[in-house]
Amino acid sequence: MLEINDLHVTVQDKNILKGLSLTVPAGEVHAIMGPNGAGKSTTSYTLAGREGYEVTSGAIKFRGEDIVNLPPEERAAKGMFLAFQSPIEIPGVTNMNFLKTAVNSQARMRGEKEPSAVEFLKMVRDAAKKLNVSEEMLRRPLNVGFSGGEKKRNEVLQMTLLKPSLAVLDETDSGLDIDALRLVAEGVNALRGPDTSFLVITHYQRLLDYIEPDVVHILAGGRIVKSGDKTLARQLEDQGYDAVIGKAA
């Protein structure tokens, strides 16, 4: 699904990723953990194609295709989804209108038929109900006045409607209480399947209690320094980054 090979990325002339390599097969959930400044957010923004994140060498293959030179919207249409750490508020665009525009744009780019107004409404209502997203939240401007939990639930709602094949969750657990975290995790787990992969980027092990990873990677200094199964996350939580990374080095 995703193959990252010896990736070097600079942001404002500063080298952040220095030889990141990572493979996420179809249907698997991989977690990237790492201390502050390790390059976690840079990894997620680079995957989504944000301007200013310059790939100086290395490759990102997504479903067999090199996507380094693709704009964000084309990556999205190919099935890449980034759940934002801080979802953006956009006054003046209703949540509903945004969701419809996104779903239709992706369908158009993939050469598929756009869902009819009735089909779309049913899709949204069904997904919103499961995620406890109210009608009022759908009518409001995108993320404006939403609590931290509401914003994250709204991200999972977008993910559910857009049906990505790879979802990158960037510190989705930040700012969530335990109930909100459980709801978000349930939404993510509902999307798990043989054709869907997840890359869960997090600072803490807590989220991984709810979204169980197949592989855990430790990112430090701009590259993966250690990989293991889910027990690695527990070990990090118990011993701290220094002890574990120290062992790896």
Partner 1 sequence: MGEIISIDHLLRAATALQTDTAPWAGTLREQGREKFAALGIPNRWQESWKYSDLSQALAGVPAGTAVSRTLPCLDGAYVAFFENGVLDISRSALPDDYLVPLTDVLADSGSPFAGTIGRINGTEQKNHPILGLNTARMEQGFVLRVPKGETLSPPLHVRVNWTMDGAESLDGRHIRLLVELEEGAEATILETHGGTPGFATVVTELRLAQSAKLTHIRIDQLGGDARQSAVTLGELAGTAQYKGFYLSEGAYFCRHEALFELNGEDANVEIDGAFLVTGNSHCDNTTIITHAAPHTTSRQAFRGVLSGASKSAYQGCVKVRPDAQKTSAYQMSRALLLSKDARIATKPELEIFADDVKCSHGATAGELDGEALFFLRARGIPEEEARAMLVEAFLQEALDTIERPDLREVASGAVRDWLAVHATEVIHAG
Of 223, 222, 219, nearest to 241 by C-alpha is 219
- Minimum gap (Å) between residue 92 Cβ and partner 1: 3
Nearer to partner 1, 77 or 137 (CB): 77
Q: Copy the structure tokens of residue 204.
A: 């803490």
Give dist(CA 158, CA 24) in Å, integer. 22
Residue 162 interacts with partner 1 (CB under 8 A): yes or no: yes
* CA atoms within 13 Å, Cβ hemisphere of 180: 16
Residues 32-61 that bind partner 1 (CB under 8 A): 48-51
Q: Copy the structure tokens of residue 44.
A: 């997620």
Out of 6, 73, 179, 238, point to the residue binding partner 1 (CB under 8 A).
Answer: 73
Residues 118-157, one symbol each (x = binds partner 1 by CB under 8 A, - = not), give -----------------------x----------------
Out of 26, 102, 121, 191, point to the residue binding partner 1 (CB under 8 A).
Answer: 102
Nearer to partner 1, 161 or 236 (CB): 161
Backbone angles phi, psi at 44, to 5 degrees: -70, -40
Of 31, 27, 8, nearest to 169 by C-alpha is 31
Q: Which residues pair with 5 in a beta bridge?
A: 59
The sign one gets for the Cα dihedral 113, 116, 122, 125 is: positive
**With CB under 8 A as the contact rule, which of the stretches 34-42, 70-78, 190-198, 200-208 interacts with partner 1?**
70-78
| Residues of the shown chain interacting with partner 1 in the complex, contacts defined by CB under 8 A | 48-51, 71-73, 75-77, 82, 84, 87-88, 90-93, 98, 101-102, 105-106, 109, 141, 158, 162
